[in-house]
Amino acid sequence: MKLLKGERLFFGCKIDSKLREALAQAKPGDRRYFEDPNGEFLRVLTFEDERWIGKVMGGGVQVSDVEDIQRNVVSILRRVAPNVRTSPSSIKIFAVAAEGDVVIADDHEPPDTDDADDKGEGPYIDYP
């Protein structure tokens, strides 16, 4: 298992049909909150055939800041899609591995130990 200190975190929720429709009908002034792929507000990311909307933060977020980030994401979603019910419990946290790719960690799968090239390199702490 590796601690990836330099990776970013994504706080967001899955875009369902209601949210997708609301985002498509968002006012032009509110589109700035989610249309810029490098924006400071929300971003739309994809994982396989799913689309997610949320906020990308630097790694190492303090635990005390998680609830504030969650409220911020929900607040912006309620502004751009007021007719869609967005609850704080719908926000999930994922690691963002690369430009737009979201990695969903599954603790039930054994770690990949066959990749010897990863040993001792990179911005992480490796515990055997």
Task: Read off the pLDDT of residues 23-79 as tens digits, 9 standing for 90 and up.
Answer: 999 999 999 999 988 888 999 998 899 999 999 998 889 999 999 999 999 999 999
3-state SS class at 31 = helix
CA atoms within 13 A on the CB side of 36: 12
Residue 23 lies in a domain: yes
Report the share of the chain in percent with pLDDT over 70. 76
Residue 58 lies in a domain: yes
**pLDDT score of 24:** 95
Residue 124 lies in a domain: no
Which residues are CB-contacts of 91 (< 8 A; sequence separation ≥ 6)?
11, 12, 13, 54, 70, 73, 74
Residue 112 lies in a domain: no
CA atoms within 13 A on the CB side of 51: 12
Question: How far is it, in rounded angstroms, from Cα 76 to Cα 1?
Answer: 35
Residue 119 lies in a domain: no
pTM reported for the whole predicted model: 0.72
- Smallest CA-to-CA distance from 76 within 99, 49, 100, 53 is with 53
Domain count, the chain: 1
Q: Which residue has the higher pLDDT, 106 or 62?
A: 62
Residue 11 lies in a domain: yes
Residue 25 lies in a domain: yes
Residue 75 lies in a domain: yes
Domain encompassing residue 60: 2-105
Q: 56: which strand partners? A: 10
